[in-house]
Structure 1
Amino acid sequence: MAACQGSATPSSSPSPAAELEASAAEPVLVDDFEDGDGRSPLGGYWYVYDDQGNGGGSVVEVPRVGDAMKMEGEGFESERSLEAGYRLDQGNLSYPPFVGIGNALEGPHRDLRAFAALEYSYRGGAHEVRIETANVTEYDFHAMQVPASSTWRTVTLDFALFRQGGWGPKVPMELEDTQALGWQVRGKTGDEGAFELDDVRLLPAGSRGPRKRTLTLDEPAPPAPAQLASMAIDHPLQATAMRSLDRGYNLTNWLEQGAFTGEWTYGEAFVERLAAAGYRSLRLPIDLDLYVLDQPSRSAGDGLQLDPHLFEVLDAFEAWTRAHGLGLTITYHQYDGSYRVGDAAVEAEMVALWGAVAEHFADNRRPDLFFELLNEPELAAGGSGPSAAQWTELSSAMLAAIREHDRDRPVLFGDVKWYDIDALVEREPFDDPNVLYVFHFYEPFVFTHQGASWAGMGTTGGVPYPYSVERWSEYREDFGFSEFNEPWQLDLLRNYPRTGNREAMRNRLVQVKAWAVKHGVPVICNEFGVYAAASKEEDAVRYYTDLVALFAELEIPWHAWFMLMDAETGAVDPDHARALRLGD
């Protein structure tokens, strides 16, 4: 992580003893930037950093005098603020690009235990505020996410709402040794703008006033059960799906994040452990376009040149899954946002890639080898995905490229809006008998995604499953929600007494099963699960138990997303194994 710091010397500063005494009862100014230099009244310095040392290409720019930062932004009801311009570029990162601003705390000012909140004014992009304590490793600092604002906005962030949202070890927020306060902007390649910061203050405990009731203690109110007249699907692929796409496992955070270069993070022993644990199918997310070699015309189908590592890894998993009795789904899965909707060259390359994969496996007649066109088109496009019509057009072209080489290969198709059920049931199936239809299921979302920073819910936690009035609260803050959550997330939280139950999940699944019965086509759910960082394990087990039982009742094959098996030992927690019915 590249960093540059200001170095100007303040003209005066309060004594540490006097400042600490004041901090016990009054707000303490970190900086209002009116002196124009790069040091705060507390003696610490301001700095900026980017992702270039990690492989990104992002740039952050601030005015300087020599090496020292200079505060020249237009202030909020004042003369000056800290203003930083930025341009984001993911480069070779496997995660979103970033830039940041920080204030290093020094001496006794590193002890923030007398304070309960951070207040500041800002104008600019969405950002994450980080309390960077010394006991945190892997940069997984306690943080809160704050939305963009095109006008000056003053916010107050309670320390009690800060959570770790990354993959590092979870530790308490030890405010007695706080190294820095940080503001980090993340996004996608091409994002650019300015971030302005002003009037940063620490607020003492007791300064926030009484809490406002935002939830109600309702009794559980599950919906009436939806009726399903029949579950019969007279299609040969229904039996294939129940046999070869059920009790499935997603191999995540590997080939969809970066290209395979010959180093095996997972090998045949892992596949063997999956089979021994009771799984019957493997979904292999892989970003196919990472293997297109640089060439004058990357989009020319006939001239598409591929890194041989692509078929090295695909052939290996085909052989291993066949040897150990697992179905295999090759899933085109992008995290890098390289699907640019409407870009003819990009879309032609995506089509050509499936033609190349289909040609490679054209002589392989195993019935349990599946191709999945593109995981969640919105994710592949960096958040802003295609319309249903655009997605149908591209999917049809990819399907046609496969059919040029393989008329019978089972192909999986999921719809727009993140493989949404509502989008799928509005669709007429393709005129192709060898297509299976896929949805993802993460309902109720405020339970399954609590603690998930990528969903804007990194601060949330403690939401029970099923809903229980005894475990509920009148205050959204008790579950880590605040005014900074999206309105739809707050609506889901308020509605949880009606949706946090087995009956509500069943009604949603009946909706998609009824569509499948009507059209005589198979449907599968190849992603579902509970993010474990902020949910209680016993709640997750109850959720998996209910949902897998519903899948069995409605004859819907499934693949769990979160990797519920120890990759080294093959062990599955006994409660999770029973919930997933792996021993059946």
Structure 2
Amino acid sequence: MVRAPLALAVLFLMIQVNCAAAFEMRRAINVAQWFTWPRYERPPSTGIAWPPYKETPKPPDLSELKRLKQTGFDTVRLPVDPAPFFVFEGEQQQFVYKRLFDAIDRIQSAGMNVIVDLHPNSRHPVWGQHAMIKGVGTPAFDKFSDLIEDMARRLSSRHQNVALELINEPRLKCKGDDQAKWDALAKTLVDRARKGSPDLTLVLTGACVSSFEGLLALDPKKFGDDKIIYTFHFYDPFSFTHQGAQFIPWPDKYLDEVPWPASARPMEQPLAKTLQRVAEAKIDTLDRDKASVGAQANLKKFYASKADREFIRDRFARVSEWARENGVDPARIFIGEFGVLKKRPGLAGALCEDRDRWLKDVRVTAEEFGFTWAYFNYDGPFALLVDEKKRNFDPSILAALGLGKETKACRD
């Protein structure tokens, strides 16, 4: 007489535990500068200075994370350069792990989920992005695979409400031999993660630098794993989202005040601003001529595309169809990054009203298709933070993300 109710109670408890352990998210934010810029040593050394991670820019403290939670974000995507985990051994390696897990604990103490995104930096010659994708059996990839298994094991045993993103923006083409190579690399990473943990939620990208085209070229049936979230990044049109970005080599770095949608203002306005930026650039005459020709060509191409919300919808619809054909729940489609470079005083960039229209168009369209998303970024050139000292959030960005009231506080 006692056993049946007891069995039911145990079963109910097991269901509760399983439900509590499920990884669910809707609205995330990248905190990308906490663990992505280790202190690389200069050549000829191939190592990293100790301690590896800097405190500049300042990571969010617990009160800031709680404010993010109260605002409506439920998850932090935490990019982590894996190089320090390879370079250091013994007590130093354990210190690196502790530093990461302390950050995870801080985020979870604020009531938020965490995606640990293994994010190799392309600047490191030995342990960087390009070395990681050379192929199965190469030193960097083998070390990376070992880390995947170890990280999965540690995350599974110590934390709930955490997911592991296997690699960020692989720089391989999403067709031909490169796609076949990425299929093999991705399968190896998934298999190694599953050796570490059979139940941990994984996040997997396609090739082509995590573009939506890369996701469309990926075959989920090769993994047969319903605990995988599939991700892509969205910065299209690039000439809009990365206008004025001085960290890129392309002529879009000289574009200024390009509108969204393309029909919002005539081309003559951003063209005049762009030519002024090229004229002011500290480059020689030959480079200036090339920059002028390239920037004008990209601007004309942007206007010719007539890009607007339908441009976004078309791309998301193709991802939605891919998910339907492959039996992937739309909630397992994750836009891991999207954002627009902010215009700052004296520098090129998108005007805030254009930025906010694009952000809203991406966010609303993603939610219509049932996708989850992560805004890029908490700080830096795409920042939600208005400034580093006051640590207050930009109200117009929050409004565009559906996390605040419509406001006229848009500022450049």
TM-score for both structures, normalised by structure 2: 0.72
Greater strand content: 1
Could you say if the C-alpha distance between residues 408 and 487 of structure 1 is closer, same or farther in structure 2, counting changes exceeding 3 Å? Answer: farther
Correspondence 1:197-208 to 2 at 5 A: none
From 481, 494, 498, the counterpart of 2:305: 498
Conserved? CA contact 1:551–1:557, under 8 Å: yes
From 319, 334, 345, the counterpart of 2:120: 334
Q: Distance in 2 between matches of 1:486 and 1:559?
A: 35
Could you say if the C-alpha distance between residues 326 and 499 of structure 1 is closer, same or farther in structure 2, counting changes exceeding 3 Å? Answer: farther
Q: Distance in 1 between matches of 2:91 and 2:181?
A: 27
Q: Distance in 2 between matches of 1:486 and 1:420?
A: 27
1:401: which partner in 2? Answer: 192
Q: Does 2:33 correspond to 1:253?
A: yes
Q: Deviations over 1:528-576 (max 9, x none)?
A: 1100131111111111122111112111111111321356555222222
Q: Does 2:191 correspond to 1:376?
A: no
Structure 1 residue runs of 5 or longer lacking an equivalent are: 1-235, 296-303
Deviation at 1:278, TM superposition (A): 2.4
Runs of 4+ in structure 1 displaced over 6 angstroms?
485-489
Q: Deviations over 1:301-326 (max 9, x none)?
A: xxx98612322122212222222221
Deviation at 1:269, TM superposition (A): 3.2
Q: Deviations over 1:247-306 (max 9, x none)?
A: 2111123311116657653233332232233221101111112232357xxxxxxxx986
Q: Distance in 2 between matches of 1:399 and 1:488?
A: 41
1:299: which partner in 2? Answer: none
% identity of equivalent residues? 23
Conserved? CA contact 2:151–2:196, under 8 Å: no
Could you say if the C-alpha distance between residues 358 and 469 of structure 1 is closer, same or farther in structure 2, counting changes exceeding 3 Å? Answer: closer
1:471: which partner in 2? Answer: 266
Q: Deviations over 1:375-404 (max 9, x none)?
A: 11229x9xxxx9222222222222222211
Q: Distance in 1 between matches of 2:170 and 2:314?
A: 25
Deviation at 1:503, TM superposition (A): 1.0
From 107, 110, 116, the counterpart of 1:324: 110
Q: Deviations over 1:155-202 (max 9, x none)?
A: xxxxxxxxxxxxxxxxxxxxxxxxxxxxxxxxxxxxxxxxxxxxxxxx
From 83, 94, 98, the counterpart of 1:312: 98
**Which letter does structure 2 place at the counterpart of 1:523?**
I
Correspondence 1:170-189 to 2 at 5 A: none
Greater helix content: 2
| Bigger Rg, structure 1 or 2 | 1
Q: Deviations over 1:407-455 (max 9, x none)?
A: 0111111111111111211221122221111000001111111001233
Q: Does 2:258 correspond to 1:437?
A: no
Q: Distance in 2 between matches of 1:553 and 1:459?
A: 34
1:581: which partner in 2? Answer: 402
From 328, 334, 343, the counterpart of 1:524: 334
3-state SS of paired residue (1:370): strand
TM-score for both structures, normalised by structure 1: 0.52
Correspondence 1:250-399 to 2 at 5 A: 250-258=30-38, 261=52, 264=55, 265-266=58-59, 267-293=61-87, 307-335=93-121, 336-337=123-124, 338-339=128-129, 340=131, 341-342=134-135, 344-364=138-158, 366=160, 368-378=161-171, 387-399=178-190
1:452: which partner in 2? Answer: 245
Conserved? CA contact 2:206–2:217, under 8 Å: no
Q: Distance in 2 between matches of 1:262 and 1:483?
A: 38
Structure 2 residue runs of 5 or longer lacking an equivalent are: 1-17, 40-50, 279-288, 344-348, 379-383, 406-412
Deviation at 1:485, TM superposition (A): 6.9
Could you say if the C-alpha distance between residues 391 and 310 of structure 1 is closer, same or farther in structure 2, counting changes exceeding 3 Å? Answer: farther
Deviation at 1:511, TM superposition (A): 0.8
Q: Distance in 2 between matches of 1:305 and 1:388?
A: 39
RMSD between aligned alpha carbons?
A: 3.1
Query: How many correspondences in the alignment?
Result: 331
Could you say if the C-alpha distance between residues 287 and 490 of structure 1 is closer, same or farther in structure 2, counting changes exceeding 3 Å? Answer: same
3-state SS of paired residue (2:73): coil
Could you say if the C-alpha distance between residues 354 and 490 of structure 1 is closer, same or farther in structure 2, counting changes exceeding 3 Å? Answer: same
